[in-house]
Structure 1
Amino acid sequence: MSDVITIDDIRRARQRIAGMVRETPLVHSSTLSDITDGDVYLKYEHLQITGSFKLRGATNAIRALSADARAKGVIGVSTGNHGRGLAHAAKQLETRCIICMSELVPANKVEAIRGEGA
């Protein structure tokens, strides 16, 4: 197994997550473009279903599992965005999800993850 991510890997991931995540806008930033003397675009992932880009990776990871592996469920360790993304993706794919969190995680983040079904 190679650690190199190819364009074909990216294309397969895009196909796996299609229809399960929002297509968020790419917006040109005049300020950052001026500062860097180049064209800078911002990907508005805060508009994603769970509020961050983490949903993309979590959805891709679960969709890439075999049916047998998915039937066993998924477990993650998170203090927020990844846990919420994993829980949301698992719920959409009817996969059991457990998120392990520190006792120090704020209650609102714990409830957001629980609200996604973990």
Structure 2
Amino acid sequence: MAYLYLFFAIIAEVIATSSIKASAGFSKLVPSIVVIIGYTISFMLLSLVLKTIPVGIAYASWSGLGIVFVAIVGYLLYGQKLDVVAICGIIMIIGGVLIMNIFSKTAYH
């Protein structure tokens, strides 16, 4: 269940982060509200995750996969380009998160 909460925490964080650009410096009401609600949900879920998963593993997964998903959203919604170096970096982030979660003996208390 903790990894399901972590997944939804990541999704909420990605929605919030992606909405920052749409908020135009918090001058647009609806995207600004999405940012606040998204981060609130994300941190609430992350706090539940930390009851089971160690903070280092949880935060590395949350931030690492958040970076990957935000880069994809930026590409799809905002037309931001991803060159070969960026794609290689994204692949390394995914690899690092997978290695930590699959092979680390600290993945659970």
- Give the structure with the larger helix fraction: 2
- Give the structure with the larger strand fraction: 1
- Greater relative CO, 1 or 2 (CA 8 Å, sep 6+): 2
Normalised TM-score (structure 2) = 0.29
Normalised TM-score (structure 1) = 0.27
